A and B are shown apart, each in its own frame.
Chain A
Amino acid sequence: CMDRNKYPMPITCPRICEGDCAVLKRGDVFKAVPVLRRRKIIFEKQWFYLDKAIGHAYGTTFEVTSDGNLQPKRKVEEAPTETKEAGTDNRNIVDDGKSQKLTHDDIKALKDKGIKGQEIVQQLIENSTTFRDKTEFAQDKYIKKKRKKYEALITIVKPSTRILSTMYYAREPGKISHLRYDTLAQMLTLGNVRAGNKMVVMETCAGLVLGAVMERMGGYGTIIQMYPGGGPVRAATSCFGFPKHFFNNLHEFPLSKVDSLLCGTLSVETLPSEPEDTTLTEEEMNGLADEKQTSVQGTEEESSAETAMEINQTEEQETMDVNAEDAECKESKERENKENVREKQRKQWERRKKLTETAALLRERNADGLLVASKFHPTPLLLSLLEFVAPSRPFVVYCQYKEPLLECYTKLRERGGVVNLKLSETWLRSYQVLPDRSHPKLTMSGGGGYLLSGITVVLDKGKSDSSNSEALKMEEPSAKRCKVQDLCC
C-alpha cells in the first residue's frame, strides 16, 4: 500500500512506519488499517490514534489511554498471587443476580476517571461476593472474561496471508466466497506455488488469493491474473503491503478476451468497459476498486460501511480533496482537462500495450499452474484456462459448493489431459488446552468450501476418445473396484 519507496526500510528492522499497512489485533479479532498520522481509528468499540505507535516494532502490544493514544504495554507484572482461596464445587452458589456489589454506574464512573482496565478487574473481583467460593478454574475463567472486556490491549502486527485470510474469513466471508484459511493453505500447497513460477490466477476473492500467491512467490516469477468485468479487484492484495517490485511481473487479462485469444482472433482495440473505467487500473492498485466495482456491477456482495479495509476510504477522501481544489481555479482546470485527455489516451495506449504483452505470455501455453477461486461456475473457466498451462503442472479450483465441482470433474474427464483428479474438503478443529481442561472448542466452522485439484498431462487430441475410456477405467473405479481401493487407503 502507498508508496513504500518513500519509507525505505531494511527488511531486518520490522518497525511500524507511516504509510504502512498494518493489522490491529485484539484477542482473535483482526482489522487491517493504513498507518496514518492524526487519523481516528475505531476498532472493537474503541477509538484511538496510531501516531504514537509509529517507530515501534511490529508485534508490540499497546494500551489505549483515555485520550485515545497508544502506550506500549510493559511486561505483564503478574499480580502477586496471594494465597488463593477457592471453593471445590458450586453446590452453595446461588444465582441471585446480587453477587456483584459494583453497579453499572460505579463501573462507568471508574472508566470515566481513566482508571486502568487491570484495576477495574481487580475491583470487580474484590466486590464479587461469590468469587472466593468459586473453584480455582471458575475464578480463572472469571478473570479472563473480565480482562478481555476491560483491558484494552491492542497488538499491531505485520500483515501476512495467515493474518489476512483469518481476518477476511471472520469479518467478510461473503467477499471471499467463504474460502476458509486452511482451504486457501491447501490451494497454495496443491498448486505448488513458489518462487520462479509462471502462475495463472482467476479469483473473485477481493484479491486475497492473489496476495497469498504473491507472498509465496516473493517477487520471483510471473503472475497472470484473469479478471471479470472492468478490472481486477485487489482490495485485499493492497493490505499485504508488498514492495513495489512485486508488481513488476504481475499481469492482468480480461476473462472476456479469453475465447478470442484461444481462437487467435484477439484484438486489443476494444478493451473491456471503456471509457469510464480506463482510470481504474491505477486506483485498483491502491485497493479502491472493490467498492466501486460492486456498485457498478450491482453484485450481491454487501459493501458494509465498516469494511475491513479503511484504506479505501482514505484514498477516496484524498482524491475528493484534490477535486475540490480544482474547482476553485477554473483556468488551471481547463488546462488540466486537456492534460487529462492526453493522460487518458496515454493510459489507454499503455493498457493496450500491457494487454498485448499479457496475451503473448498466455499464448506460450506454458504456465506452471492454475488457481481458480471465484463465484463463477468453475467448469467453463477450467476448460478454457487449462489451455494456458504446460503439461505436468498442478491446478486447483475452489468452489463454495460441491455440486459444480462434481460436474467440473466429469467434464475434465471427458476432455482428458488431466490426471490425479481429487475432490476434497478440509475440516478445521480448534482446541482449548489448559491443565485439566483440554477439549475441542465448542464451535467449529461448518463450511470452508471444496477443492478440485489435479495435474495436467500432454493431451493427445487424435485419439482422445479411446484414451478417455482408458483413463476412466484407470481412474474412476467401478463400485466393486472401489471397495478394494478403499480398503488399501
Chain B
Amino acid sequence: MSFVEYGDTIKDGDTAIVFLGHESMFPVKVQHGGVTQTKYGVIRHSTDLIGKKYGSKVTCSKGGWVFILHPTPELWTVNLPHRTQILYSTDISVITMMLELKPGSIVCESGTGSGSLSHALIRTVAPTGHLYTVEFHQQRAEKAKEEFREHGVEHLVTVTNQDVCKNGFGVSDIADAVFLDIPSPWEAIGHAKSALKAEGGRICSFSPCIEQVQRTCLAMEENGFTEINTLEILLRVYNVRTISLQIPDLGKAAEDNSSPGFDSSNPSTQGSPGTNLQQGTVQFKSGVPLREMVGHTGYLTFATKSLL
C-alpha cells in the first residue's frame, strides 16, 4: 500500500481504514502482533488483517464485523488527526482542477497544517511531480514529515519549517502552481510569484474572511497576476429516505372511495371502501438534505501569473 499506489492485500506497516458504518471509521497502523479495539470487539492484526484483501469484511471478537479499506487522500481527510483546521475534499477538488494539477506538476503549499490537502496534492502530481510545503510551526512540520514517511510518499514532498511570508517557499522559478492557506496571504504573494515558473502558472489562496480576500486580490493585482477570480463551493449531501405522507380526510371518502390523482397501484392508498376513518398514505423516495450543512469554509481566490 501507499497513498499513491493501490495494493491488493494488507501488509505489515500499512495504514488501513477500519470502516464500522455510516461515517464511522478510523485509521489504523497495521503491525505484526498489534491489536485494535472497536465497539464490535478486538481486531488482531496478524491473523485478522495481514494478508487479507483490502475491502474484506473482518469479524471482530464479539461477532460484529467491519470492513478494511485501502487508504486514499479522501479517506485520510476524514480520519486524520487534526493539528489545525483542515481543508475538505469539496474544496480540494476545485483547488486541484483550477490549479491545473496533474502528474508532473510542481506545487508549492503553505501552510502544511494537518496535511489534508498535501496528501491530495501528492496523489495528483505523482509519480513525476513534487510538492514543496512550508509550515512555520516546527512541531507540525515534523509531524507532517513523519506521516509522509509512513504513507510511502516522502520522495514526492519536501517539508520546510520557515515563515512563508518572510522567507518564501525556499524555491524559485520552479512551480506550476502555488496554494496559500495562511492568515495573511497578501504578505506571501510576492514570494508566490517568484516561486512560480517564469513562463507563468496558477495560484490559489484560501481565506475564510472577505477582508482577507480583498487584501489578497489587491496584492495579486499589484504583482501582475491576471484572471483573478474568487469563488466559493458548497457541498449539499442528501439522505435517501422513503417518505410516506398521509392523505388528508376531506370527508369525501363516503361518496368517492377511489382517490383520483394518486397512484392507485400503491396498496396503502387503496383505502377499503366505506372506511373513511382509515387514512391512506402515499409513499415516495426522497433525497432529504441534512438538517444542518456546512455553509461556509472559505473563499477560494484563483489567479494566473501571466507572461507580461
Taking a contact as CB atoms closer than 8 A, the residue among A390, A407, A424, A456 that contacts B285 in the complex is: A407
A431-489 with Cβ < 8 A to chain B? 431, 433, 435, 438, 450, 455-458, 460, 467, 474-477, 479, 482-483, 485-487, 489
Q: Do B199 and A59 touch (CB < 8 A)?
A: yes
A69 CA / B244 CA spacing, docked (Å): 66
B307 vs chain A, min Cβ distance (A): 5
Q: Do B100 and A162 touch (CB < 8 A)?
A: yes
Taking a contact as CB atoms closer than 8 A, the residue among B55, B100, B231, B238 that contacts A430 in the complex is: B231
Binding-face segment, A89-97, A113-121, A193-201, A275-283: A193-201
**B102 interface contact, C-beta 8 A:** yes
B234 vs chain A, min Cβ distance (A): 4
Looking at chain B's contact residues, the main secondary structure is mixed
**B4 interface contact, C-beta 8 A:** yes
A52-76 with Cβ < 8 A to chain B? 57, 59-61, 75-76
Q: Do A458 and B287 touch (CB < 8 A)?
A: no
**A123 interface contact, C-beta 8 A:** no
Which residues from chain B contact A182 at a C-beta distance below 8 Å?
93-94, 97, 233
A153 CA / B127 CA spacing, docked (Å): 38
Q: Do B100 and A160 touch (CB < 8 A)?
A: yes
Q: Do A457 and B231 touch (CB < 8 A)?
A: no
Given known contacts A429-B234, A457-B67, A391 and B56 CB-to-CB distance under 8 angstroms? yes
Binding-face segment, B141-149, B209-217, B270-278: B209-217
- Give the residue name and chain of the A residue nearest to B71 (CB): A392
A160 CA / B234 CA spacing, docked (Å): 23
A458 vs chain B, min Cβ distance (A): 5
**A388 interface contact, C-beta 8 A:** no
Taking a contact as CB atoms closer than 8 A, the residue among B124, B229, B235 that contacts A194 in the complex is: B124
Q: Do A429 and B292 touch (CB < 8 A)?
A: no
Q: Do B96 and A185 touch (CB < 8 A)?
A: yes
Taking a contact as CB atoms closer than 8 A, the residue among A181, A426, A450, A485 that contacts B23 in the complex is: A485
Which residues from chain B contact A456 at a C-beta distance below 8 Å?
55
Given known contacts A368-B6, A458-B57, A485 and B22 CB-to-CB distance under 8 angstroms? yes
B235-271 with Cβ < 8 A to chain A? 235-241
Looking at chain A's contact residues, the main secondary structure is mixed
Given known contacts A422-B237, A426-B90, A195 and B74 CB-to-CB distance under 8 angstroms? no
Which residues from chain B contact A425 at a C-beta distance below 8 Å?
235-236, 238
A485 CA / B237 CA spacing, docked (Å): 13
A385 vs chain B, min Cβ distance (A): 17
A422 CA / B23 CA spacing, docked (Å): 10
Q: Do B307 and A489 touch (CB < 8 A)?
A: no
Q: Do B240 and A195 touch (CB < 8 A)?
A: no
B1-18 CB contact bits vs A (8 Å, 1 = yes)? 000111010000000000
A172-187 CB contact bits vs B (8 Å, 1 = yes)? 0000000001101110
In the A-B complex, the 10 residue pairs with the smallest Cβ-Cβ separation, listed nearest first, are: A391-B55, A218-B103, A392-B55, A474-B21, A189-B93, A392-B54, A185-B97, A486-B291, A431-B230, A185-B93
Interface residues of A (CB under 8 A from B): 12, 14, 57, 59-61, 75-76, 160-162, 165, 181-182, 184-186, 188-190, 192, 194-197, 215-220, 366, 368, 390-394, 402-403, 405-407, 409-410, 419-420, 422-431, 433, 435, 438, 450, 455-458, 460, 467, 474-477, 479, 482-483, 485-487, 489
Q: Can you list 9 pairs linking A and B with CB atoms under 8 Å apart?
A: A59-B200, A181-B97, A192-B72, A196-B127, A391-B54, A392-B55, A429-B231, A457-B56, A458-B53
